[in-house]
Structure 1
Amino acid sequence: MFALLRRTRVVLLVVFFVAGSTLYMLMDQSREPSLNMVFPPSGIQLDSETLKFRADAIKEAYQHSWDGYMKYAYPQDELLPMSKKGGNSMSGWGASVIDGIGTAVLMELDDVVQKQLEFIATIDYTKCEHVISMFETTIRYLGGMLSAYDLLAGPYSKTFHAGKGEKNYDLVNKLVYQSVKLADALKFAFDTTTGIPSGYFRLGDGAVKSNDINIIAGIGTLVLEWTRLSDLTGDPQYTRLAQKAQEYLLVVENPEVGEPFPGLLGTHVRLNDGNFQDSFGGWGALGDSYYEYLIKMWVYDQKRFKRYRNRWVEAADSTIKYLASSPPTRTDLVFVAEYSNKDSIAFRGSHLACFIGGNFLLGGQSLQSNKYNVFGLQLVNGCHETYAGTPSHIGPEEFGWDATLVPGGHKEFFEKNGWYYRGESDYRLRPEVIESYYHAYVVTKDNKYREWAWDAFLAINRTCRTENGFTSIHDVTREDGGRKDDKQESFWFAEVLKYLFLIFNEEGIQAKQKIGFVKGHKQRWVFNTEAHPMKVMV
């Protein structure tokens, strides 16, 4: 590690890893420069007509996706647009309906919302023929219903209820009733020696698919939804269950195995004693949303969740210190590496992990720290380059930047772009890069990020759109995206289209109640990991 280079009041710490240089500026705590000093504004101007045109185009994409779902898949979980039928990968309770309702509310698609509410009121959450994922069911179903309630009982109540009588008030209240029914059906999963929930199980006979371990994302991505349910109902049992499980991640009993860097954890935790089985991890799959929720819980309630904030700061600082990395051919880019233990760093990333830029920006805004804002914007720029560098203009599922592992035939591409395709090169309608664009725009108000989001939408609309909806594609290395993989994910409604719409309609949302930050850095809403906005405690 090089010595610190001092220049007036700014300290630059340049950390070099084996595979490339980390180019991250840690600011002198006594005086952090403004974001405009580090990231000069682009000066791009967008008029109201352009913004409305783009927001309307995104609404049309939602309506097109919804119409195809209703025609061929309702009330199953998702549309298979190429096969013209439905699929049930998320418990068979109509995941696309619940995942999609919040976005439809924000878009003021009242006829769609009406149909969604009427369906949700009929679901029997005590019956399910499928193996249930505690994680997915919580973030999609429970999160979706609670968010819809907060929106429809709050800023969108007058618009939606106007002239429709008491029936709609009953349907909105039913969202909380159904949330309780679902949580009561799921809560037996916490009945383990430690209180850490089983990750997969069946209802009815109680058969458990995985009764020995869970992952930190599966343990640490329940607390926002279950706490919100307690706060809405006044019944503390739900938040107690989720917070008891979370304790094993907030305080690691054996850090030598489970916490290789301060705040950064291993992945698998035993249900019988709460101990970690390994020390590998990062901000990608299996761990991602655990870190995401630490800062979001503090945003949700700053009085109750200071420990969560402190734990996020630990993880964020360790990420900057130990995992930030730049490719040797593109030292202007910054990515976040993974680890097997504290002595083994892997220079690889994923589309899933590209939410991290937005999460650092959320932390920077809520903590009023430009250190995290600067790092977050660097990560947003890095993930943008994975989109800009492909023929389809969509980033791949996996990528790497280790100069010693560049595949044959990819060296010229690596020299130019600073990364290479690793493993899967498909696109699964994932939201993470666009999610980070949204946060970058909220923080900077720079229309550059709106342009990046629009470019992403145009690419997705060109390659993933079908006659009946949208679908994942097989190969982003081809201009046309290659083979269409026949699945319209429910999070297409919940996340991709919501973040896109908000990027271009943030000002319109303000007329009711702004979903992003408001004056004084106090946020009124916080997104769960499925992009369902929930009202924060005041």
Structure 2
Amino acid sequence: GRSSWEPRTGSRNSSLNQFLKIYHNHCVFYMFVFSAVVERRGIMLPPSRRDFVSLTVSESGSYTNSKQWRRQSCWRKWKQLSRLQRSLILFTLMLLLLFLVFLFLSAESRLEAVREAFRHAWKGYKNFAWGHDELKPISKSYGEWFGLGLTLIDALDTMWILGLKEEFAEARQWVAKELSFDKNVDVNLFESTIRILGSLLSTYHLTGDSLFLEKAKDIGSRLMPAFNTASKIPYSDVNIGKGTAHPPQWTSDSSVAEVTSIQLEFRELSRLTGDPKYKLAVMEVMKQVHKLDGKQDGLVPMFINTNNGLFTHQGMYTLGARADSYYEYLLKQWIQGGKTEKEFLDDYLQAVEGVKKNLLKKSTPSGLAFVGELSHGHFSPKMDHLVCFLPGTLALGAHYGLPADHMELAKQLMETCYQMYAQMETGLSPEIAHFNMHEGSTQDVDVKIADRHNLLRPETVESLFYLYRFTKDKKYQQWGWEILQNFNKYTRVPTGGYTSINNVRDPASPNPRDKMESFFLGETLKYFYLLFSEDPNLISLDKYVFNTEAHPLPIWPQSE
């Protein structure tokens, strides 16, 4: 009988009838093709779909006859179509194929662009700064901070993830033959932990090469004197050769972010070595910070005293420098530990609500959501680029089952962080932005002269990666692609390397600063690569958690 949707005889619109007949023939044809493919591939359809393909098999002979009948029927239907109809079908299939090829080539070309950017940066480092901390690409020289080959170590797992085997091999050889921590040199506890210890642990997990674990044990043990304080709040600086530690010359304080953003690494070191001392030291810090007075709705001040263990400079709250990664590591310790340490989750959720209540505002005229700062009850519409870690962190929490409005806030703040790039003349974000909130403002973002520099920071690209991984919204990849192109346009040095710049508002003269931070290779380019990759298993966010320097560490099984 006639299908229920077949046009009735005598319809007044013969053109519509003809179209529906053609549509009917196509549907029947594709139904038979689909049925044949399903049968040939042995695909089991879910129950909600099985009613579309019905096959009754009583014995092998009837099954064979049925299969032959379907093949003949499909071919008959195809032959019954007019030449125009067949041409349209083939043309549509060709367009679909070309579109898929375009998407594949586009993704591959972006990944290759990141590899090329890394090779160019590595070329400058290898030629002018090999074995030193940082490249100075304009003067073709190097700068030292700790004298430990910081850029090389920070970039180890990036090279592995990008598949740069030759570059990784030469870096490994340097680590094996040249890297020594037995040096009379002061290092910053926080920076050494996130860049050196974090990278060595990550590279060990990705490669299985015990060389990196042995080096991680070495530097980890040499950093432990920092915790020898009356309060158990660590000093900021350690002499890794002498085994002594001290605060900075100008203060007895450590920044809250620094003492609460070393936990992922030391906890993992204890897990790998079986020695609990590393984990116990950093967990003591978290216990003390958890119970301290001086918080406002879960928000913490920026400094803590190493003598008495109390917050200093109370009344000042920010998600920018000196406090940022405290909030990041609350969530990530909960994730790292298999979601069993509820106190971290409670503190994180309280802090997010504190951000919403005290720091979250909207700009004029576009209504961009941004996170400002609070100083003794006075709100400032100042937002560091560093705060752009927050969209990614909020999205990560939502992925792990936290409230859905965290993802909505992540999307709003992601738009803001992108606009901090898009509204600048170079398409690159300043270090600090001020958002207009006055009626009659014509632009959302204002940048003071002293804040117009760009250090090749990763935070916005980091959050773009999380947002794309969880939403698959292509706009996040496109935004990242624009940023990478602007890095290439305004910060790339022809002889090798990339440089930070002084003025993102002057495309004619951005004024290079002659410095390539190690995090450009350790974080920024890594996050670009992960953003453009379509493989969700490339550093799966269900198996790894990134430290604040973009070094992935494994999530522990809940039994541990």
Note if 1:79 corresponds to 2:135: yes
Hey, what does 1:200 align to over in structure 2? Answer: 237
Checking the alignment, whether the CA contact within 8 Å between 2:129 and 2:142 is kept in structure 1 is yes
Hey, what does 1:530 align to over in structure 2? Answer: 549
465, 479, 485: which one aligns with 2:513? 485
Matched residues in 2 for 1:290 and 1:279: separation?
Answer: 17
Once the 2 structures are TM-superposed, how far is the Cα of residue 368 of structure 1 from its aligned partner?
Answer: 4.2
Number of aligned residue pairs: 451
Partner AA of 1:458 in structure 2: Q
Identify unmatched segments of 5+ residues in structure 2.
1-98
Partner AA of 1:370 in structure 2: A
Once the 2 structures are TM-superposed, how far is the Cα of residue 209 of structure 1 from its aligned partner?
Answer: 4.2
Checking the alignment, whether the CA contact within 8 Å between 1:135 and 1:199 is kept in structure 2 is yes
Residues 246 and 232 of structure 1, relative CA distance in 2, 3 Å threshold? same
Matched residues in 2 for 1:59 and 1:425: separation?
Answer: 28
Identify unmatched segments of 5+ residues in structure 1.
1-43, 154-171, 405-410, 518-522
TM-score (ref. length: structure 1): 0.81
Note if 1:306 corresponds to 2:342: yes
Hey, what does 2:442 align to over in structure 1? Answer: 415
Write the deviation string for residues 219-254 of structure 1: whole angstroms up to 9, x where unpaired: 1001000001111111111111111112222121x2
422, 425, 429: which one aligns with 2:456? 429
Once the 2 structures are TM-superposed, how far is the Cα of residue 217 of structure 1 from its aligned partner?
Answer: 0.6
Hey, what does 1:386 align to over in structure 2? Answer: 420
| Aligned pairs (5 A) from 1:268-347 | 268-277=303-312, 278-331=314-367, 333-341=368-376, 343-347=377-381
185, 204, 208: which one aligns with 2:222? 185
Q: Which has the higher helix share?
A: 2
Matched residues in 1 for 2:391 and 2:172: separation?
Answer: 34
Write the deviation string for residues 110-134 of structure 1: whole angstroms up to 9, x where unpaired: 11111222222342212143x3111
Hey, what does 2:389 align to over in structure 1? Answer: 355
Hey, what does 1:244 align to over in structure 2? Answer: 284
Checking the alignment, whether the CA contact within 8 Å between 2:225 and 2:238 is kept in structure 1 is no
206, 228, 231: which one aligns with 1:151? 206
Partner AA of 2:303 in structure 1: H
38, 41, 59: which one aligns with 2:115? 59
Write the deviation string for residues 334-364 of structure 1: whole angstroms up to 9, x where unpaired: 00111113x2221110111111111111111
Write the deviation string for residues 17-60 of structure 1: whole angstroms up to 9, x where unpaired: xxxxxxxxxxxxxxxxxxxxxxxxxxx99701000001001100
Hey, what does 1:264 align to over in structure 2? Answer: 299
Aligned CA-pair RMSD: 1.8
Checking the alignment, whether the CA contact within 8 Å between 2:363 and 2:437 is kept in structure 1 is yes
3-state SS of paired residue (1:298): helix
3-state SS of paired residue (2:533): helix
176, 192, 196: which one aligns with 1:141? 196
Residues 327 and 365 of structure 1, relative CA distance in 2, 3 Å threshold? same
Partner AA of 2:246 in structure 1: V
Checking the alignment, whether the CA contact within 8 Å between 2:107 and 2:534 is kept in structure 1 is no
Note if 1:217 corresponds to 2:236: no
Checking the alignment, whether the CA contact within 8 Å between 1:326 and 1:334 is kept in structure 2 is yes
Hey, what does 2:270 align to over in structure 1? Answer: 230
Checking the alignment, whether the CA contact within 8 Å between 2:336 and 2:556 is kept in structure 1 is yes
Write the deviation string for residues 387-440 of structure 1: whole angstroms up to 9, x where unpaired: 110110011111112446xxxxxx99x513x12113410110101111111111
Checking the alignment, whether the CA contact within 8 Å between 1:473 and 1:481 is kept in structure 2 is no
Between 1:137-146 and 1:421-430, the stretch displaced more is: 421-430
Identity of aligned residues (%): 30
Hey, what does 1:450 align to over in structure 2? Answer: 477
Once the 2 structures are TM-superposed, how far is the Cα of residue 281 of structure 1 from its aligned partner?
Answer: 2.2
Once the 2 structures are TM-superposed, how far is the Cα of residue 195 of structure 1 from its aligned partner?
Answer: 1.0
Matched residues in 2 for 1:309 and 1:61: separation?
Answer: 38
Partner AA of 2:543 in structure 1: R
Matched residues in 1 for 2:279 and 2:288: separation?
Answer: 15
Checking the alignment, whether the CA contact within 8 Å between 2:255 and 2:323 is kept in structure 1 is yes
Once the 2 structures are TM-superposed, how far is the Cα of residue 453 of structure 1 from its aligned partner?
Answer: 0.2
Hey, what does 2:104 align to over in structure 1? Answer: 48
Matched residues in 2 for 1:438 and 1:480: separation?
Answer: 30
TM-score (ref. length: structure 2): 0.78
Once the 2 structures are TM-superposed, how far is the Cα of residue 202 of structure 1 from its aligned partner?
Answer: 2.8
| Aligned pairs (5 A) from 1:160-179 | 172-179=209-216
Between 1:221-230 and 1:345-354, the stretch displaced more is: 345-354
Matched residues in 2 for 1:480 and 1:438: separation?
Answer: 30
Largest Rg, 1 or 2: 2
Note if 1:471 corresponds to 2:482: no
Matched residues in 1 for 2:379 and 2:227: separation?
Answer: 34
